[in-house]
Amino acid sequence: MERRVAREFRHKVNLLIDNEAEKDYLYDVLRMYHQSMNLPVLVGDLKLVINEPSRLPLFDAIRPLIPLKHQVEYDQLTPKRSRKLKEVRLDRLHPEGLGLSVRGGVEFSCGLFISQLVKGGQADNVGLQVGDEIVRINGYSISSCTHEEVINLIRTKKIVSIKVRHIGMIPVKSSADEPLKWQYVDQFVSESGEAKGSVAGLASSGGRDNKEKKVFISLIGTKGMGCSISSGPTQKPGIFISNVKPGSLSAEVGLEVGDQIVEVNGVDFSNVDHKEAVRVLKSSRTLTITVVAGAGKELFMTEDERQREARLREQERQELMHQKRLALETNKIIKEQQEKERLITAEEEKFKKEWEEDWGPKEPPKSLKTVTAEVHSAPHSKHKKDLKGVAHDQLDTDDTDEVTMKQDRKGFQKYVEDFDPYSMFTPEQIMGKDVRLLRIKKEGSLDLAVEGGIDSPIGKIVVSAIYEGGAADKHGGIVKGDEILAVNGKILIDSRLAEAQATLAKAWNMGGDWIDLVIAVSPPKEYDDEIPTNPSSTVSPNTHKKVFEGSAPVYRQGYLLQL
């Protein structure tokens, strides 16, 4: 299941992202998340590479890789896309207008998106959202329409029918020459410099840079507040402070030009006109005023201030882009370095393996147990068997029993006798292999090392070491060089080394008293060296025959292997 999810995710990444550096960056931030488990940081990092609507499906592809306990929060932090179309109807002749602003068009190489909504306006009341893409107007597809053509299409009918789908991103492009960029709705900055939460210019303290504050003013014994107010334009309605006299009462309590008045003595200023606002402010000598600081600051900027603000925004945007490029480039460099190190390590391992095959290991490991096959003459009671020049020897049946019993006392378990390898593997997978199922009792540590893998020169998972005193050593039925075909029913024939190690660790640490290993017994190597003299056999000094030549049985940890 996990392998299938990972395979589908990589396929989706390859389908949606062409840039290799961006792919590496994506994989790296996922690895960092699984180390830190910091979900907000992960989503923020993902947004740097999932930076256009066509890549949004990656959020869905990543979700199965997120632990179950984090998936609800992940859904809250990632954009909410909708595949379904929503149709609304708006009255073009309504006194307050449609209550929305749009951006985009075919001349900008993108669709048409809602970029602003007037709070409480028509569009807001029917459920339209900032980040909605308009796909049809009055029944006509607008995929090939310019911005001006869309506006003209809206003007053709009194009741405007609009079909939208929610994307959650806004196109950012000031001119046809500028490259098209995208911003998420929660990161979107409008042309007026406001954050998304204040695009309508109305009071709301949730999720916005502008902060709501409350001031108390007593006009007793004073000539007035020392400030002027103005009504906002149609696209940004409300009552705003347009001027504050230095040293005045308003300046002392911290009111500034651009602050939006949202409430005075409990009276809501969201929908009052200028005349009514003046009347409320003059109706009492003590005022409790709630304002949204800086909500309309851009309405009263001079041209120089506007240009300076635009430069600052551009600098911030360039800095963000620079950080993103730097992160992508850094990850690319790290990836290249890791690949070089991997190739060097692979070459060293290959050289080491070839050296050991030719000359044997340079140093025997300190805590490893060397498991060797013993060569004996064929067991019989009356006759001896000629081994083509090898000295004659006998091994009585009682001796055989003694060897087996000795191994049994060490905790050895027999191979499962009725195991049918064809019930688990195809004939091609086990052709020419001596396949056996053994069951190891979980006592202490397994203490078994493996090497190789489908992507290695070996091409399979093999035992590289058996550590003395471990469960594998006590069992005695598996030795260095054996191929591991399956663990607890999970086939490892096409597995990488890391996958095999993880499977072994999981099988050993999970519940149960036994672990089942299916192995392919490694064939004994043939050497031309002389057979050493030992008490159980007499060997001619001039003998240079191969050890395993002939039909002599080989005893390996208590098992008789007829060669």
Express each pLDDT in 461-471 by its tens digit.
999 999 888 88
With bands split at pLDDT 50, 70 and 90, how would you rate the model's confidence at 278? very high
Residue 88 has pLDDT above 60, yes or no: yes
Arithmetic mean of pLDDT over the chain: 76
Residues 6 or more apart in contact with residue 126 via CB below 8 angstroms: 88, 89, 90
Q: What is the pLDDT of residues 45-82, one digit of tens each?
A: 898 889 888 899 999 889 888 888 888 888 888 887 77
Q: Report the alpha-carbon angle 285-300-273, nearest 5.
A: 50
Please report the pLDDT score of residue 109 as a whole number. Answer: 82
Mapped onto helix, strand or coil, the DSSP state of residue 61 is: helix
| HEC profile of 149-170 | HHHHHHCCCCEEEEEEEECCEE
Please report the pLDDT score of residue 390 as a whole number. Answer: 34
CA–CA distance, 21 with 327 (Å, rounded to integer):
9
Residue 378 has pLDDT above 60, yes or no: no
Please report the pLDDT score of residue 485 as a whole number. Answer: 93
CA–CA distance, 493 with 190 (Å, rounded to integer):
57
Please report the pLDDT score of residue 427 as a whole number. Answer: 86
Q: How many CA atoms lie within 13 A of 357 on its CB side?
A: 8
Task: Note the Cα 225 to chain centre separation in Å.
Answer: 57
Question: Which residue is listed with tokens 């001031």?
Answer: 215
| HEC profile of 305-353 | HHHHHHHHHHHHHHHHHHHHHHHHHHHHHHHHHHHHHHHHHHHHHHHHH
Q: What is the pLDDT of residues 224-237, one digit of tens each?
A: 889 999 998 877 88
Which of 27-41, 67-81, 196-210, 315-329 bottoms out in mean pLDDT, i.e. has the lowest? 196-210
CA–CA distance, 147 with 152 (Å, rounded to integer):
9
pTM (2 decimals)? 0.37
Q: How many CA atoms lie within 13 A of 62 on its CB side?
A: 24
**Two structure tokens written together for 238:** 């409300």
